[in-house]
Amino acid sequence: MSEPVVVGQLGAVYGIKGWLKVNSFTDRPEGIFDYQPWLMKDGSGWREVQVSGWKRHNKGLICKLSHVEQREEAQLLTGFDIAVDAASFVALPNDEFYWRDLIGCRVKNTKGYDFGLVSQLMETGSNDVLVIKANANDAFGKHERLIPFVEDQVIQSVNITDRIIEIDWDPDF
């Protein structure tokens, strides 16, 4: 099994029969249920969990796990991360990337300036944004930079193998 990837989190208990609210981190919230089995980490490591049912509830999602029959059992799982085997993700075309592939990449501009490493990504209404943790010796005293992930305008190339993202962006002076 490859390294598990967190795709959501179990929320509050719903009802008395062991249902739980689900906070999905997938693009399409219901998409979290396309990945089976789920993996949850307990004191002994990752273990497989089967979803026996799910449905929309108001503006959210709820699920029933196969081994959970009562509210008290479900309460023990609130806040647990939901992960899946990374190998279960669909292979993307060469010009598309999962966020997890971009995190940790070095970001340099076309003039060779090293901005630092991608620490996370943020979703905004118009485009995704790279959050870059600046190098400790950053000449401009920046600790963090936000760079829009706009291909062909800002993003010039992404090399996942070498873990480098080249951008057309000047450092803040």
Q: Which pLDDT score, from 0 to 100, does residue 138 have?
A: 66
Residue 93 lies in a domain: no
Q: Is the pTM of this model over 0.85?
A: no
For residue 129, the domain's CATH number is: 2.30.30.240
DSSP string, 74-119: HHTTTT-EEEEEGGGSPPPPTT---HHHHTT-EEEETT--EEEEEE
What's phi and psi for 111, nearest 5 deg? Answer: -95, 5
If asked whether residues 46 and 72 sit together in one domain, one would say: yes
Q: Which pLDDT score, from 0 to 100, does residue 134 have?
A: 84
Residue 173 lies in a domain: no
DSSP string, the chain: ---EEEEEEEEEEETTTTEEEEEE-SSSGGGGGGS-SEEEEETTEEEEE-EEEEEEETTEEEEEETT--SHHHHHTTTT-EEEEEGGGSPPPPTT---HHHHTT-EEEETT--EEEEEEEEEE-SS-EEEEEEPPTT-TT--SEEEEE--BTTTEEEEETTTTEEEE--PPP-
- Which of 88, 111, 143 is where one domain is finished? 88
Residue 172 lies in a domain: no
If asked whether residues 79 and 132 sit together in one domain, one would say: no
Nearest in space to 82 (alpha carbons), one of 31, 50, 39:
39
What string of pLDDT tens digits covers the 173 residues of the chain? 577 989 999 999 999 999 999 999 888 899 999 998 999 987 788 899 999 999 999 999 999 999 999 999 999 999 999 999 988 888 888 888 888 889 999 999 999 999 999 999 988 878 889 999 987 766 666 788 999 999 989 999 999 999 999 999 987 65
- According to DSSP, the β-strands at 81-85 and 60-65 are unpaired
Residue 106 lies in a domain: yes
As for how many domains the chain has, the answer is 2
Q: Which pLDDT score, from 0 to 100, does residue 78 have?
A: 94
Q: Which domain holds residue 9?
A: 4-88
If asked whether residues 59 and 111 sit together in one domain, one would say: no
If asked whether residues 9 and 65 sit together in one domain, one would say: yes
If asked whether residues 103 and 62 sit together in one domain, one would say: no
If asked whether residues 72 and 128 sit together in one domain, one would say: no
Q: Which pLDDT score, from 0 to 100, does residue 140 have?
A: 65
For residue 45, the domain's CATH number is: 2.40.30.60
